[in-house]
Chain A
């Protein structure tokens, strides 16, 4: 994999999170009934950062959950490598809540579709909104994000790598491109 372009650094990610936090509060008119749910893996640290930032702004700690969408994937019967199931930890009732789903990259929309099904199996939220750090286009389903850190036009053969301190040891968003050495390897 060859790095093609550097899109965001730590400071850029921080500013995007702060802006999204403000937008969430503005759109939902405060923190009433508001909950955050991060989609594994990198949506989880992003949801925690949003919760911390919102606490700094409003002084209210939002309930924050973790969603594993493996059981709701639509490609389970076609994938050769079976994904490992991790825990879903949503320790509150989502019924009647304003749920903000958080993920790192919005691409085909299939993950978000799975996440919405997973949330609805847990209860009946009043609203589901979607916050993503990067929207790279190429939707395959009628899904859009309510809060976007950065819109990033890409080609399908490119890879958008979001790296976060909590999962990868550093904060950055880069576009990578497969090079000759990756031939035969998937992505």
Chain B
């Protein structure tokens, strides 16, 4: 029962069956990370290229460790040290990599849709590690995994996503993934940072954070992306923290067994207060661990045992 998709570009394009297969596979592979020797020979002789046109520590490291735990070789290319500086086009860069024998390309790029373009240029599978304001499907999958592992299910849960929905590719992937798996999704944030059309796909848009958090099973707090904040979407960071920051009092409105999630990196004291980020309801570190397991699963499903 292989994955139906050749690439992993967006959860919007993936069906529930494929998502379930990825989560189940990740569940089986997670154990490897806790072994004394964290390595299985499954992807020996395969080469994974990570190509990042935007800064990233956790996503890139997560992919590289996932590949190494599965015995694949990894090559990482960043824009500052490569021929991209000399004006090489994206297409030429990846065609060169493919000619050198890359079996799979992981890309992060500031332009929405760039991974789709890449997938059309390449025969090798492509995994989107974040394209502009579009999607970050592996983050969406690790969030689904974390919720399912802790709650035992996704169906019927109420998940509140709080913050800058407009610029957030994490929010987009989370929303598509959660809706496909039968969860209810609410969002809250400054009105300037809520994209239009959310209600049309079945998301409940709340006027206040309190309304969104009321009796929620899961709260995903998004990072305020200061690098995308030149447009004056809200008056000040202080005001944002006051009206939209998640703190102990607001978290208290959710169910007692609520899961507090954050895709990282956190702006402590802005969108989330330190006491709850380090508190018993937070599963933020688990999200990071699960990210490696989910990426191992994707590498296995895309590279392990298929002759194209």
Instruction: Please determine whether A123 and B36 come into contact, CB atoms closer than 8 angstroms.
Output: yes
Question: Whole-angstrom distance between the alpha carbons of A123 and B31 in the complex?
Answer: 14
Nearest A residue to B37, CB-CB:
A121
Nearest B residue to A87, CB-CB:
B28
A80-B306, A82-B1, A82-B2 known; A117+B41 contact, CB < 8 A: yes
Q: Mark A104-132, 1 if CB is under 8 A from B, else 0.
A: 00000000000001000111000000000
Q: Mark B32-47, 1 if CB is under 8 A from A, else 0.
A: 0001110111100000
CB-contacts of B242-292 with A (<8 A): none
Instruction: Please determine whether A85 and B306 come into contact, CB atoms closer than 8 angstroms.
Output: no
A80-B307, A82-B1 known; A71+B40 contact, CB < 8 A: yes
Stretch from B128-136, B154-162, B196-204, B297-305 at the A interface:
B297-305
B86 CB to closest chain A CB, in angstroms?
36
Interface hub of A68, A71, A83, A123 (most chain B Cβ within 10 A): A71
A77-B307, A80-B306 known; A85+B37 contact, CB < 8 A: no
Q: Mark B100-113, 1 if CB is under 8 A from A, else 0.
A: 00000000000000
Instruction: Please determine whether B2 and A81 come into contact, CB atoms closer than 8 angstroms.
Output: yes
Nearest A residue to B297, CB-CB:
A85
Contacts of B15 in A (CB 8 A): none
Contacts of B306 in A (CB 8 A): 80, 82
Contacts of B214 in A (CB 8 A): none
A81-B2, A123-B36 known; A87+B27 contact, CB < 8 A: yes
A131 CB to closest chain B CB, in angstroms?
24
B294 contacts the other chain (Cβ, under 8 Å)?
no
Q: Mark B1-45, 1 if CB is under 8 A from A, else 0.
A: 110000000000000000001001101110100011101111000
How many B residues face the partner with a CB closer than 8 A? 24
A84-B24, A87-B27 known; A76+B305 contact, CB < 8 A: yes
How many A residues face the partner with a CB closer than 8 A? 23
Contacts of A117 in B (CB 8 A): 41
Question: Whole-angstrom distance between the alpha carbons of A87 and B293 in the complex?
Answer: 13
B239 CB to closest chain A CB, in angstroms?
48
Nearest A residue to B24, CB-CB:
A84
Question: Whole-angstrom distance between the alpha carbons of A176 and B41 in the complex?
Answer: 34
Question: Whole-angstrom distance between the alpha carbons of A144 and B28 in the complex?
Answer: 29
The residue from A82, A88, A123 contacting B305, defined by CB atoms under 8 A apart:
A82
B290 CB to closest chain A CB, in angstroms?
15
A139 CB to closest chain B CB, in angstroms?
22
A29 contacts the other chain (Cβ, under 8 Å)?
no
Contacts of B36 in A (CB 8 A): 122-123
B267 CB to closest chain A CB, in angstroms?
37
Question: Whole-angstrom distance between the alpha carbons of A72 and B43 in the complex?
Answer: 10
The residue from B25, B27, B42 contacting A72, defined by CB atoms under 8 A apart:
B42
B200 CB to closest chain A CB, in angstroms?
36
B62 CB to closest chain A CB, in angstroms?
19
CB-contacts of A53-111 with B (<8 A): 68, 71-73, 75-89
Instruction: Please determine whether B305 and A86 come into contact, CB atoms closer than 8 angstroms.
Output: no
Question: Whole-angstrom distance between the alpha carbons of A84 and B29 in the complex?
Answer: 11
Contacts of B70 in A (CB 8 A): 71
Contacts of A80 in B (CB 8 A): 306-307
Contacts of B27 in A (CB 8 A): 87
Contacts of B31 in A (CB 8 A): 87-89
Instruction: Please determine whether A85 and B25 come into contact, CB atoms closer than 8 angstroms.
Output: yes
User: Which B positions have Cβ atoms within 8 angstroms of A?
Assistant: 1-2, 21, 24-25, 27-29, 31, 35-37, 39-42, 70, 297, 300-301, 304-307
Cβ contacts A to B, 26 pairs, < 8 Å: A68-B28, A71-B29, A71-B42, A71-B300, A76-B42, A76-B305, A78-B305, A80-B306, A81-B1, A82-B1, A82-B2, A82-B301, A82-B304, A82-B305, A83-B305, A84-B21, A84-B24, A85-B28, A85-B300, A86-B28, A88-B28, A88-B31, A89-B31, A121-B37, A121-B39, A122-B36
